[in-house]
Structure 1
Amino acid sequence: MRLSTVLRGVVVVALAAVLTGCAGLPTSGPVLPGLPVGDVEADSPFTERASSPIAGAGPEVIVAGFLEASITPTDNWSIAKEFLAPEFAETWRPGAGVTIDVAGSRAYASSADSAEEIEEAETADVTVDLDQRASVDADGRYTEATGNTELAFQLARDDDGEWRITSAPDGIVLDDGSFQQVFSRYALQYYDQSWRHLVPDVRWYPRGSNVATSITQAAIEGTPSDWLQPAVHSAFPADVLLDGNSVPVSEQIASVALTDAALSLDAGTLARMRTQLEKSLVATGVSEVRFTVNGSELDADEAGLAPDGADVSTVVLTEDGFGSLVGGEVTPIAGISDALAQIEQPISAIDLAQGEGLAAVQLSTGAVYAITDGKLNELPAGAGLVRPSIDPYGYIWSAQAGAPQRLYAWTEDVTPYSIADAWPEASAVSALRVSTDGVRIAALVTIGGRQSVVTAVILRDDNNVPTGLGPTHEVVELSTPAQGVVWLGSDSLGILVEGENATLTTQIVGGPGSERTAPAGSIAFAGAKSQAGVRMLGAGGTLFAPRASAWQEFYEGVLVLGTRAGY
């Protein structure tokens, strides 16, 4: 029988009452000493505490309580295991993954047809239908996975006559509202082929667990996500493993014990290993990694990386010219602003390279020019190109909007490099942006009549000349058509829906998205290293910046909002 609305309400109220009682702060008891300043406690993040099984509860209520207990990961989901038969509790694997569903979508059905049948039965089957939103695998990788999903459970009475689950799918179930309260996002770091840039690979781990250990194990013994693998690699050799099952952290220092194979590594490899792991552990509060073998510390320096500069100024085109907007004044950019002023036709887009020695300018006709050292060179591609994006090696990227497979990267002297087999399933591309590391390209494409935001890695030869793209990775399928995409930081994308009901979605690459209202009539935007640096341009030439939950006007008379390479 299907769990009635009333019964579901009773379950929710009962669980909420217990949660309210358990989640309150203590008002009595002894004062306990805290951690020394700088220490990191593995189980410190606060999480809600689920309720234990209710005596006399029927099979559907037991299953509902078991699923609700996913909100408490403490002690490897020990509360959830209270709903299981002891023998099954020993084999159930909560860490196998996460099914993320739409809040309120669960519908329960039991093999018993009446309360009398439940009272007399010794076993029962319960199915749960839910509207799935996404999933997380055992390695912490998040994937969009929409659609109806059915979960099957078997139950039996224990020696006290209480119903307990004897069979259930491995992994846990969380609704989309609870997921980010129970799990936190971390970015594993991998090197590009030049060993000068680190590329993030987002993973999700439960709060209340030793996250430093999980990240270290993944960095040393795991592999990058499939779509990243063709263009990134780890500094850790395959024969170097973590020695032990934990990584202690004290005073922001992680002590990482390695196997004997690490003794033969050269200084350069050890430095890269240390830097890769330190950057991967930043979000856990770790500031330094120390490697040991058999108790003896290894001498590992830090490896050099390409500069990761702070947020830089907004670039705009006004009636007075093009330049950096600083303190309410537009400051010209040498070698770029004067050459751009020579263009008589309307300009629709400007992308400025890192170092400000190169710009890609698109006219309202669709033609694109490269500007460097005061000279203009037209890209030999004609009209129909999407807005150009410059990578850190000075290549200007664009594609034919109606023929996304015609993707090109041009040098500053407009020598073309054709990128074969780009987005093979796409029928159109609306926007593209190359990341600051030059390893990833994000695009707004149309596949099967639906718009999606996708990413892929850029394949390069030993001279960093682009030669192709890796597999297409769908970040999110859009329900509302969007007009543009930018990078917001190293692992998130901004997606703009223009018009009176303009919205800005911040979409994690490897995670969920969040939406906020954009200024009405927004027609363009520019990404940045942080979300605080994003800029919106209204149809009337007003420039907006985010301020808490609102947008603040801070400049007028903007003809074109430029972008900076990588954002």
Structure 2
Amino acid sequence: MPDSGDVQPVRGADTGDSQVRVYAVAPRENADPDEIVDGFLEAMTSDDPGFATARKYLTKKAAQSWKPEESITVLTTAPDREQADRNADPENQGRAFPLSGRKIATVDARHAYQPNSPTEYLQSIHVVQQPSANGKGKEWRIDGLPPGLVLGEADFLRNYRSVNKYYFASGEDQVVADPVYIRQRQDPVTRMDPVTQTVKALLEGPTNWLKPAVDSQFPSGTELKAGVTTLTTDDQSTLRVPLNHKADRAGGEACRRMAAQLLFTLGDLTSVRVEQVELLGSGGQSLCRLGKGQALEFAAVGNTDREEHPYFVDEHDKLMMLLVGDKQADAPVEVPGPFGKGTVPLRSVAVDRGETRAAGVGKSGRELFVSSITTEQDPLPPVLTSRAARPADRLSAPSWDGRGDLWVADRDPAAPQLWMVPDGTGHPVKVRTPWLGDDARIESLRVSADGVRIALVVTRGEHTTLQIGRIQRQTTGEEPVVSVLDLQPAAPRMESVTAVSWAGPSRLVVVGKEAGGVQQIRYLQTDGSTSATSVLPGLNGVTSVTAPHKDTAPVVADSGDDGIVRLAPGTNWRPVIKKGFSPVYPG
């Protein structure tokens, strides 16, 4: 228990229960306007086929024009329905009921979650009287309402779940995760089960944000065969996917890559085990088959069976590797080369995905070095140098992508710049960052294994936020043109962010504070969404954090006074090394 410091209130959240189901109830006879509005808001949270019951609360015209599948507005809690102003619509004898709340995100027609800092939400539902079905009187019905669905976060997470679609990085053989939200159960509009919804979402193509940097191998216009609403595996865990005529000519390598996209995408669904995919043409003919093992050649992180090791810089500024098995004692191991020997004292470090090389920023923060960590060698000249006067304004901690390219930010106020070093040893390339002006500074960065996305901790004024940028590469001339574009917030509800690490294909582990809150460590999707189980156990004074690509290994953090600590799955934080800093997994 802490024995000093201020007491701060922490607001709990209703996380909802994914096992709870809401069944819509039709409006009762002679229901008053308040009941009509409340009943409709409740019916929007149900799985009612076609939202048929919800439409019973609408006038015929409104029922025909309402498109619940086109968008979802997510509020912190269910929308607050205020009392109507009876004098607001005297001419039509209608009533307008204001709806309010705090908007935190929208989900578009392509299922993409788009977060925002909580903002005020103000809309209204308008009701009028119309002749009742029996013609003997009048009944209240809704003739004006907000577009799409309007749900509180608890209802949204109860009805929807995040899945990763996979596409190929443009011109590359590695797949890239593209998170979207699908219904937990059967979709009310399409009547598709979650597996079929996921396949349909994949065939629709990448989300608008990711689209410029990835390719889909499915021919344009490819859809599921008409009428398919359920996809199930056979006793060999093979999933047969019938497609329309657009896919009939697909074969060979293109078909294998299509099947690989499906296998990676379906691998995130715990409700189905798919070991093999068979694509079927419009006539039922087999186009190709691919097994899960064969698809691994397209994974962003190769050799997924290999154990990942965390590394850190010890009190003597040397690079050390940690052994963090569940049953064996934690022990640091000195790595070969100048980083392990202390010939090049380190300030920060990054280890490549194959764990053969490391990049280190020297103690002064001015120079970036690259060295082998598997064989002995003499120190090499720096690959990049900063001219900033203060150490804190020089080079950030570096990061490797899965292509073997090295990334680092120069935080020099006179010339802020993001750099990419091809293969870690090539001529440094200035990354185009049109958003990096006088008011922005990159504090730290982490590049995804696929090399298509970059997590950036950016300071503007007094705010330090987490942004995700899309990496685009062009090779029109002798020197490649690399850009980081379209930054989007990944932790919009956090007032300040201290550290970030990738924790899988589309998940991040983030250290930061919400407004008025205390420091917390939590998992976030790259689209900024979260879940009820995303908060990790509390830990004081965290300055850096790192997570493995697979969640079977522990999260490792630098907690100030406690030194290097680890968090194995299902346990609490455990001290590893009392004196050390800059813990990193490969990447």
TM > 0.5: yes
Contact 1:125–1:154 (CA<8 Å) still a contact in 2?
Answer: yes
1:441 aligned onto 2:454: yes
The Cα of 1:445 is off from its aligned counterpart by 1.0
Match of 1:325 in 2: 323
Q: Of the candidates 408, 430, 433, which is equivalent to residue 418 of structure 1?
A: 430
Match of 1:361 in 2: 360
Change (3 A) 1:238 1:253: same
Residue type at the aligned position of 1:380: L
CA distance in 1, matches of 2:359, 2:559: 22
The Cα of 1:510 is off from its aligned counterpart by 1.7
Match of 1:228 in 2: 210
CA distance in 1, matches of 2:460, 2:571: 34
Match of 1:527 in 2: 547
The Cα of 1:179 is off from its aligned counterpart by 1.4
Q: Deviations over 1:42-62 (max 9, x none)?
A: xx9763334443554432332
CA distance in 2, matches of 1:267, 1:358: 36
Match of 1:397 in 2: 407
Task: Kindly report which structure 2 residues correspond to 1:483-494, keeping only aligned pairs within 5 A, or say none.
Answer: 483-494=498-509
Change (3 A) 1:212 1:45: farther
RMSD: 3.2
1:47 aligned onto 2:45: no
Q: Deviations over 1:270-293 (max 9, x none)?
A: 111111122222334251332222
Contact 1:378–1:414 (CA<8 Å) still a contact in 2?
Answer: no
The Cα of 1:488 is off from its aligned counterpart by 1.4
Q: Of the candidates 423, 437, 440, which is equivalent to residue 427 of structure 1?
A: 440
After the TM superposition, which of the residue ranges 181-190 and 68-77 deviates more from structure 2? Answer: 68-77
Instruction: Tell me the number of residue pairs that the alignment of Structure 1 and Structure 2 aligns.
Output: 517
Residue type at the aligned position of 1:249: L
Match of 1:315 in 2: 311
Q: Deviations over 1:190-212 (max 9, x none)?
A: 11135421111111112222233
Task: Kindly report which structure 2 residues correspond to 1:27-66, keeping only aligned pairs within 5 A, or say none.
Answer: 47-66=21-40
Match of 2:384 in 1: 380
1:172 aligned onto 2:149: yes
Q: Deviations over 1:539-567 (max 9, x none)?
A: 2344333367763314233412431233x
Change (3 A) 1:89 1:261: closer
Contact 2:167–2:175 (CA<8 Å) still a contact in 1?
Answer: yes
Q: Of the candidates 578, 582, 587, which is equivalent to residue 557 of structure 1?
A: 578
Task: Kindly report which structure 2 residues correspond to 1:341-360, keeping only aligned pairs within 5 A, or say none.
Answer: 341-343=341-343, 345=345, 347-360=346-359
Q: Deviations over 1:475-527 (max 9, x none)?
A: 233543222111111111222139x9431132211242344453112232112
Change (3 A) 1:149 1:331: closer
Task: Kindly report which structure 2 residues correspond to 1:159-238, keeping only aligned pairs within 5 A, or say none.
Answer: 159=132, 161-209=138-186, 210=192, 211-220=194-203, 222-238=204-220
Match of 2:558 in 1: 537
Q: Deviations over 1:22-63 (max 9, x none)?
A: x9xxxxxxxxxxxxxxxxxxxx97633344435544323321
Q: SS at 2:467's partner residue? A: strand
Change (3 A) 1:390 1:419: same
Change (3 A) 1:166 1:104: closer
CA distance in 1, matches of 2:48, 2:471: 41
The two structures have a TM-score, normalised by structure 1, of 0.82
Change (3 A) 1:407 1:422: farther
After the TM superposition, which of the residue ranges 485-494 and 89-98 deviates more from structure 2? Answer: 89-98
Contact 1:526–1:563 (CA<8 Å) still a contact in 2?
Answer: yes
Q: Of the candidates 95, 118, 125, which is equivalent to residue 69 of structure 2?
A: 95
Contact 1:521–1:538 (CA<8 Å) still a contact in 2?
Answer: yes
The Cα of 1:134 is off from its aligned counterpart by 1.0
The Cα of 1:168 is off from its aligned counterpart by 1.9
Contact 1:227–1:472 (CA<8 Å) still a contact in 2?
Answer: no
The Cα of 1:152 is off from its aligned counterpart by 2.8
1:477 aligned onto 2:465: no
Residue type at the aligned position of 1:381: T
Task: Kindly report which structure 2 residues correspond to 1:66-105, keeping only aligned pairs within 5 A, or say none.
Answer: 66-103=40-77
Contact 2:416–2:436 (CA<8 Å) still a contact in 1?
Answer: yes
Q: Deviations over 1:125-175 (max 9, x none)?
A: 323122211111111111113322222322233415432212323311111
**Which blocks of at least 5 consecutive residues in structure 2 are unaligned?**
1-16, 187-191
CA distance in 1, matches of 2:479, 2:225: 37
The Cα of 1:323 is off from its aligned counterpart by 1.9
Residue type at the aligned position of 1:528: P
CA distance in 2, matches of 1:481, 1:363: 27
Residue type at the aligned position of 2:544: A
Q: Of the candidates 127, 149, 153, which is equivalent to residue 155 of structure 1?
A: 127
CA distance in 1, matches of 2:83, 2:262: 47
Change (3 A) 1:107 1:550: farther
The Cα of 1:341 is off from its aligned counterpart by 2.0
Task: Kindly report which structure 2 residues correspond to 1:115-134, keeping only aligned pairs within 5 A, or say none.
Answer: 123-134=94-105
Residue type at the aligned position of 2:405: Y
Residue type at the aligned position of 1:537: D
CA distance in 2, matches of 1:274, 1:296: 15
Contact 1:236–1:273 (CA<8 Å) still a contact in 2?
Answer: yes
Q: Of the candidates 471, 475, 481, which is equivalent to residue 458 of structure 1?
A: 471
Residue type at the aligned position of 1:407: L
Change (3 A) 1:168 1:480: closer
Change (3 A) 1:191 1:325: same
Change (3 A) 1:344 1:540: farther
Change (3 A) 1:247 1:402: farther
Change (3 A) 1:244 1:178: same
The Cα of 1:464 is off from its aligned counterpart by 11
